[in-house]
Amino acid sequence: AQTVTQSQPEMSVQEAETVTLSCTYDTSESDYYLFWYKQPPSRQMILVIRQEAYKQQNATENRFSVNFQKAAKSFSLKISDSQLGDAAMYFCAYKKDSKLTFGKGITLSVRP
């Protein structure tokens, strides 16, 4: 079975600084998708960034980028120029076909 591990329960970052959220996963599959979702207190689960396992190039979306290390089964999220609106719970997720598995999540706070 696939597992997703987020070992840091909480992190804090100063506004305008950079922060990296860690995620590892375990799978025997070669093709799959990885995602970072953001869930603010409003509770809407919002997709931040996606990475296809077959792509070597790391995905980027504006201030968000990932460091995808397939052999190490590592998928970290870097948030640059952190903003107050980035404060939320962040979940790393693994998807193979119609099965989406989440890590435990990390609560990110942003200090003004």
Partner 1 sequence: DTEVTQTPKHLVMGMTNKKSLKCEQHMGHRAMYWYKQKAKKPPELMFVYSYEKLSINESVPSRFSPECPNSSLLNLHLHALQPEDSALYLCASSQPNDRALRTEAFFGQGTRLTVV
Residues within the interface to partner 1 (CB under 8 A): 31-33, 35, 37, 42-47, 50, 89, 91, 95-105, 107
Cα–Cα distance, 104 to 112 (Å, whole number): 26
Nearer to partner 1, 16 or 46 (CB): 46
Cα–Cα distance, 56 to 1 (Å, whole number): 24
- Work out how close the CB of 64 gets to partner 1 at its nearest, in angstroms, rounded to a whole number: 14
Tell me, what amino acid is at 86? D
Nearer to partner 1, 13 or 23 (CB): 23
Tell me, what amino acid is at 38? K
Q: Taking Cα atoms as reference points, which of 50, 7, 37 lies closest to residue 25?
A: 7
- Work out how close the CB of 4 gets to partner 1 at its nearest, in angstroms, rounded to a whole number: 9
Nearer to partner 1, 104 or 111 (CB): 104
- Work out how close the CB of 83 gets to partner 1 at its nearest, in angstroms, rounded to a whole number: 22
- Work out how close the CB of 16 gets to partner 1 at its nearest, in angstroms, rounded to a whole number: 27
Asked whether the beta carbons of 13 and 78 are under 8 A apart, the reply is no
Helix (H, G, I), strand (E, B) or coil at 67: strand
